[in-house]
Structure 1
Amino acid sequence: MRKQHYGVPLERSDCLELKRHRNSCKPENFVKWLNGFGSGKRLAVDLFSGAGGLSLGLERAKWTVAAAVDFDERALQTHAANFPGMSLKMDLGNPDERDRLVKLLEPAKIDLVAGGPPCQPFSRAGRSKIRSLVEHHGRDPHDRRKELWSAYLDVVKRLRPRAVLMENVPDMGLGDDFFVVRTIEEQLEDLGYATQVRLVDAWRYGVPQHRKRLILLARNDVERFEWRQELEHENRTTLQDAIGDLPALPVVATERVGQRVLPYTSPSKPSKFAQDMRKWARKDRVWDHMTRRVRKDDWEIFSSMDSKTLYSEIAPDLQRYKADHFTDKYKKLDWSDLSRSITAHIAKDGYWYIHPDQPRTLTVREAARVQTFPDRFRFAGTRSDAFRQIGNAVPPLLGEAAAEALLPVSDEQLPEGGLKPRWRTVRMDLTAWAEGQRESEHWYQLPGEQMSGLQAAVVAILSGTKMQPTQLAGMVTIVRGRTSLSKTALTALAAAAPTEAARKRVDRLAPLVGKSAVWGDEEKVREQLELKPAEARLYQLLVGEDLLWVGQGALRVAARLHGSDSDRTNRLSDGRVDLVNLVGAGEEAPLRMAALRLIGSNVCRAKEPLCYECPLSKYCVARDNVSSDLFTDAMSGTHDRNTVPAQAREAGRTAGRR
């Protein structure tokens, strides 16, 4: 132990060694295990398992984890101590290791494959590269340790379980317009799976912290994903519910805080959550209720704070960091609220997790409770190892809720010929409609052979002006069939502009007059025309780039089809998720995205939607609010458009209020 400028003695805690679970097994004994402990059980595999948060969720939902795979030695020791089955150290980025895993699992009937592949590469992956990785099962040696989501997908494809569960941070989707998620969904649908993607607030399933996760589910038996009812705010599990029963610790600056083993006395009225966490734990003791020593100045800071105190409000003589750069460096938790999301950073310092009453940071056991690990669950290694494993884990209660949505359904049979997932059918109809619109007066709103970079730039630059669709169509028609801009065409565009604002926008095209080579370089076009962010996104969409257009109209279509309010509440998160099912992946994804934008602008209007003209009306959840005869006629194509509007307007007013 040594004391440095940190202000407290620096020490490593003892290293906890754990015995293997009595029903664990090694690869050489796996067949025997299958015929013994594993016989008759619903088996699962947990890839990138870490310490086993998701494994525990699966176990709570009545699966038995036959194999867990990770590359972290300490996490695997933890897993082997707490679960039956195999805990395997493998680098799944290595194709040879995946071959070995699939071979090892051949004797087993795996019902579910779960996992949370590391998310760091998602936002950086090139889109053409992604397609290549998927097609070749990630067997590119240059990427084998990066694109681990493709390794996960490769194992799923080869094991062909009944159900699939993938969990990750929302950035996995939000960072790249859900491109990887949509690609994975498409590949699973090609294999006959129905899929569902959700952004889930963990607290709604009993986890006492702010934590949003992305969940992808798939199953090939029925198209049904029934989640349990979410908790309302007033019924959430608070920090008091989560850790209020754990013993208070004496805290003296620079002295050791807590111990590996401490006595435990149950309160007279423990919370329901605490009772759940104490199941099968020793009644008279609590383990791993320990944390870092406290600096003298931190002891003063922690003692003077409440849950609303900002770092900038701490006494200046006690501040060690620049208050303008570290506005949330310290966070004292509130007994009556949720905790901050527990992350792996807690292994480095606990300043985001200051105890509500005591001048210290959360202990290992308290952090485990907030992640919903029960008190019987031990973590191998040092105190820092435990914090890291806890922070990296999936909260078991969240894993349980997601897994329950994949339980076998006894009252439904697999349809003859296999599943035909609803959203795949919707996308097929949307694609067919969009291809037809390419030949209509709306051609300039859709990517395709007829849409060059020049036409896309004209539409993008004029998109923010108050022009009638017919006026915009007339202007784009001036350059239809052209791949570069001449001075004559620019003059004609300016003459056709109906307003001064439109003429000024046309003038922005002038720098590219006569520069035919530039029009073939999309990035140079965006730079030289100085397209604003919204203009650039529209330009990219119209030239066929795969992205999610989060304009209000497209979001409204997606929300109505799903029966949600994501177009009015969480546009950039849940709104995008609703778009995912409609856009899908593949070469036609940009066409479908542009078609949704077109439908949102011309048909699925906020007020008085023209449902009888919508190609997706028969799939719309909001149709319950619209006259049924309009849907019947729309599906049969028997409506006379000249006789509908009055009736449609009244029905549309109802739909527009949802």
Structure 2
Amino acid sequence: MPKRTKGCAVKKGHYGVPLERSDYLKLDPNKNSCSLEGFQAWLEGFGKDKRLAVDLFSGAGGLSLGIERAGWTTAAAVDFDERALETHRANFPGLSLKMDLGDPAERDRLEGILKPAKIDLVAGGPPCQPFSRAGRNKIRDLVKNHGRDPQDRRKELWSAYLDMIKRISPRAVLMENVPDMGLHDDFFVIRTIEEELEELGYATQVRLVDAWHHGVPQHRKRLILLARKDVDVFTWRKPDQRRTTLRDAIGDLPELKVVPTERVGARELEYSRPQVLSDFAVKMREKASAALIWDHMTRRVRQDDYRIFEIMESDTKYSDLQEKLTESEKEYQRYSAEKYTDKYKKLAWGELSRTITAHIAKDGYWYIHPEQLRTLTVREAARVQTFPDHFRFAGTRSDAFRQIGNAVPPLLGEAAAEALTPLSDDIAESPSIQPHWRKVRLELTHWARQRLAGEDWYQLPCEEPASLHAAVVAILSGAKIRPAAMVEFMSTIKESRTLTATLFRRLVDASPSANARSRMDRLASLVDKPYYWQWTKRYDVPAQLPMKPAEAALYRLLIGEDLMLISQATLRVAARVNGMGTDHANRLSEGRVNLVKLMGAGTEAPLRMGAIRLVGMNLCREEQPVCSECPLAAHCASRDKLSGDLLTLVTNRS
């Protein structure tokens, strides 16, 4: 049984409530867990004939629980957080190992530990520190000009995760992370991992998932990367059409007495099942004590917060509170309404919860109960994350909140893992699998190289790009110049690398329109300044001209920077190839994920991005697309929606 230690002494301060640490919940190991010395016996006993998985960066085990529900047994989980590992060891079989996977020596040790096991799935949510564009450019320069080892990524945990996949060589891979990680660095990390997995023979799928589609009662988008060696098939269950509301999730839990500054809830309370229990609550109560609820406790409530909670509604903004407070209560609003516009959030019964994050361990102001004047309890937060009631969290109350907030919702993990289920009991890898998206990217690269060798030389990044060419194309990108006229105009500077006064006058005179001429005038500030066109100063050009954001992005792409060029044209191509409407919901975020599949990673990623832009501008137009010339037509999931004549051309070409 779990053991609890006494909390620290209570002391009062300016916080308005007694300050105390909750009791420490110590959990006994799961009866089917094992030690390093007993791992071989575990493999021959409890783990025998089971489909085994490894969870790297496991935390408390949200993803472990999800893959367990989908049919795997966790043979080993690895993390560096002692409290999370204690939680994992109590709730799961197999090994729970404290390791710093950023250390290559620790990865060597883990490889040796797992050597006798046949691991079918490697799962995990590695912390992925996004690369800024400047950071990526610096690394590229160090590799190219200063002899840096391009594989020197030992401190990057996502690279450690990829390294362990290479060492273990499982049939399937599941990686989960927040979409912001991708959006902040043009999905550089995700694209790199996907590219390297495909080189190892894995078929891959990158997917942006709304967690509520799989029974999770909160707003939560997650980025899922799946890979498998046996087949190029990823079949997800049909998304739920009905949302699991907050009432569905926690409405059956006991009401707590809330008195300002006094303790709220307890480690153990009586549970009385209501006559009507939601399907979600039924699932959460499985294996739990019929008469008890555990960890239904939260922080004490300050007197001033009690009043604020009382006057708030689910749609009340923190900036609205001054209007609702009396003059004598104005001081209750302790934070700046301008700086903290959403400091407090009262949840609504009939809606999804706000996303549960690790921040809940610091304060619960984003998670105020819909009716009771308090913040969510540990058990309520666990329910919203879809941890069942029998699942306990080691450590103090704050430890539990942190573990819950950092976790992958188990029901989401289950849905993702199901898409990796072997098609038969005989788990085997196909030696001849050809990943679909790798094939698409190879054909797109081939087409781009053909265009680069022809009249489109200036529209695509090359091995030795000229920043002058890129600047002229970027500035003229919105001028609506006919392709033939643009080809003739760019021939004026094809052999030039710097902008002299003579060349500037020639460009102005040769401009095909008054609009183009006025745009060329912007180059005057860099006439006879050759150092700005040198490779080391190329990133200063956009600010000197100056360029608009879209122009600057195109310029950087054409000088070879690895970036995703987001425009109506590129999003349209990605949407059509992926079989999505060009006006679908979440077009920007979903569109970027679709672009990931086409762009890929590596040295030729900028070339492919340039090719996608060309396809969008010239072939995959909004009206009357020229599908017969499109390099992606044979792989386009939207081709069945084309007119008969165009479809015939596509079919004959493919």
Q: What TM-score, normalized to structure 2? A: 0.93
Within the candidate set 419, 436, 449, 1:405 is matched to 419
Q: C-alpha displacement at 1:519, in angstroms?
A: 0.4
Amino acid at match of 1:422: H
Match of 1:126 in 2: 136
Match of 1:4 in 2: 13
SS in 2 for 1:508: helix
Q: CA 1:323–1:450 in 2, change beyond 3 Å: closer, same or farther?
A: closer
Match of 1:150 in 2: 159
SS in 2 for 1:27: coil
Match of 2:513 in 1: 499
SS in 1 for 2:402: helix
Within the candidate set 12, 22, 29, 2:38 is matched to 29
Within the candidate set 582, 598, 606, 2:622 is matched to 606
Match of 1:227 in 2: 236
The 8 Å contact of residues 230 and 430 in structure 2, kept in 1 or not, is answered as: no
Amino acid at match of 1:511: S
The 8 Å contact of residues 450 and 481 in structure 1, kept in 2 or not, is answered as: no
Unaligned runs of 5+ in 1: 639-658
Matched, 1:13 2:22: yes
SS in 2 for 1:9: coil
Q: C-alpha displacement at 1:415, in angstroms?
A: 8.8
Q: CA 1:418–1:359 in 2, change beyond 3 Å: closer, same or farther?
A: same
- Rounded Cα–Cα distance in structure 2 between residues aligned with 1:637 and 1:89: 55
- Rounded Cα–Cα distance in structure 2 between residues aligned with 1:620 and 1:411: 33
Within the candidate set 555, 566, 570, 1:554 is matched to 570
Within the candidate set 311, 319, 330, 1:312 is matched to 319
Match of 1:303 in 2: 310
Q: CA 1:568–1:552 in 2, change beyond 3 Å: closer, same or farther?
A: farther
Match of 2:295 in 1: 288
Matched, 1:212 2:228: no
SS in 1 for 2:530: coil
Match of 1:332 in 2: 346
RMSD: 2.2
Render the CA deviation track for 1:167-210: whole Å, top value 9, x for unaligned: 01112211111111111111100110000001111111100000
Render the CA deviation track for 1:539-577: whole Å, top value 9, x for unaligned: 011111111111111111111111013565333311011
Q: CA 1:613–1:415 in 2, change beyond 3 Å: closer, same or farther?
A: farther
Q: CA 1:381–1:308 in 2, change beyond 3 Å: closer, same or farther?
A: same
Q: CA 1:411–1:250 in 2, change beyond 3 Å: closer, same or farther?
A: closer
How do residues 474-485 of structure 1 correspond to structure 2 at under 5 angstroms? Answer: 474-485=488-499
Render the CA deviation track for 1:369-399: whole Å, top value 9, x for unaligned: 0000000000000000000000010000000
The 8 Å contact of residues 239 and 339 in structure 1, kept in 2 or not, is answered as: yes
Render the CA deviation track for 1:44-82: whole Å, top value 9, x for unaligned: 000000000000001100100000000001000000000
Unaligned runs of 5+ in 2: 1-9
The 8 Å contact of residues 59 and 84 in structure 2, kept in 1 or not, is answered as: yes
Amino acid at match of 2:638: A
Amino acid at match of 1:516: P
Range with greater deviation from structure 2 (166-175 or 246-255):
166-175
Matched, 1:443 2:457: yes
Within the candidate set 364, 379, 392, 1:350 is matched to 364
Within the candidate set 40, 43, 67, 2:49 is matched to 40
Q: CA 1:545–1:508 in 2, change beyond 3 Å: closer, same or farther?
A: same
SS in 2 for 1:28: coil
Match of 2:3 in 1: none
Match of 2:108 in 1: 99
Q: C-alpha displacement at 1:489, in angstroms?
A: 1.4
- Rounded Cα–Cα distance in structure 2 between residues aligned with 1:116 and 1:85: 19
Q: C-alpha displacement at 1:626, in angstroms?
A: 2.5
The 8 Å contact of residues 291 and 362 in structure 1, kept in 2 or not, is answered as: yes
Amino acid at match of 1:504: S
Within the candidate set 520, 530, 536, 2:552 is matched to 536
The 8 Å contact of residues 170 and 199 in structure 1, kept in 2 or not, is answered as: yes
Q: CA 1:516–1:556 in 2, change beyond 3 Å: closer, same or farther?
A: same
The 8 Å contact of residues 394 and 400 in structure 2, kept in 1 or not, is answered as: yes
Match of 1:80 in 2: 89
How do residues 642-653 of structure 1 correspond to structure 2 at under 5 angstroms? Answer: none
SS in 1 for 2:25: coil
Matched, 1:377 2:391: yes
Q: C-alpha displacement at 1:414, in angstroms?
A: 7.3
Range with greater deviation from structure 2 (33-42 or 628-637):
628-637
Matched, 1:161 2:170: yes
Match of 1:264 in 2: 271
Match of 1:576 in 2: 592
Match of 2:6 in 1: none
- Rounded Cα–Cα distance in structure 2 between residues aligned with 1:89 and 1:415: 31
Matched, 1:391 2:398: no
Amino acid at match of 1:21: N
SS in 2 for 1:317: helix
- Rounded Cα–Cα distance in structure 2 between residues aligned with 1:44 and 1:259: 35
SS in 1 for 2:24: coil
Amino acid at match of 2:607: L
Amino acid at match of 1:303: E
The 8 Å contact of residues 174 and 227 in structure 2, kept in 1 or not, is answered as: yes
Match of 1:654 in 2: none
Q: CA 1:567–1:28 in 2, change beyond 3 Å: closer, same or farther?
A: farther
- Rounded Cα–Cα distance in structure 2 between residues aligned with 1:136 and 1:64: 41
SS in 2 for 1:518: helix
Match of 2:435 in 1: 421
Amino acid at match of 1:491: R
SS in 2 for 1:612: helix
Amino acid at match of 1:291: T
The 8 Å contact of residues 130 and 182 in structure 2, kept in 1 or not, is answered as: no
Report sequence identity in percent.
63
Amino acid at match of 1:552: Q
Match of 1:642 in 2: none
Q: C-alpha displacement at 1:299, in angstroms?
A: 0.6
Within the candidate set 251, 254, 264, 1:247 is matched to 254
SS in 2 for 1:357: coil
Amino acid at match of 1:313: D
Render the CA deviation track for 1:488-510: whole Å, top value 9, x for unaligned: 11111111223333222111111
Render the CA deviation track for 1:8-63: whole Å, top value 9, x for unaligned: 00011100000000000011100000000000000000000000000000110010
The 8 Å contact of residues 137 and 150 in structure 1, kept in 2 or not, is answered as: no
- Rounded Cα–Cα distance in structure 2 between residues aligned with 1:291 and 1:33: 38
- Rounded Cα–Cα distance in structure 1 between residues aligned with 2:148 and 2:522: 44
- Rounded Cα–Cα distance in structure 1 between residues aligned with 2:653 and 2:50: 52
Q: Size of the alignment, in residue pairs?
A: 632
Q: CA 1:58–1:566 in 2, change beyond 3 Å: closer, same or farther?
A: farther
- Rounded Cα–Cα distance in structure 2 between residues aligned with 1:123 and 1:237: 37
Q: CA 1:551–1:303 in 2, change beyond 3 Å: closer, same or farther?
A: same
Q: C-alpha displacement at 1:221, in angstroms?
A: 0.3
Render the CA deviation track for 1:415-469: whole Å, top value 9, x for unaligned: 9742111111111111111111112222221111574111110000111123222
The 8 Å contact of residues 29 and 90 in structure 2, kept in 1 or not, is answered as: yes
- Rounded Cα–Cα distance in structure 2 between residues aligned with 1:429 and 1:65: 39
Q: C-alpha displacement at 1:123, in angstroms?
A: 4.5
Q: CA 1:636–1:566 in 2, change beyond 3 Å: closer, same or farther?
A: closer
Q: CA 1:466–1:138 in 2, change beyond 3 Å: closer, same or farther?
A: closer
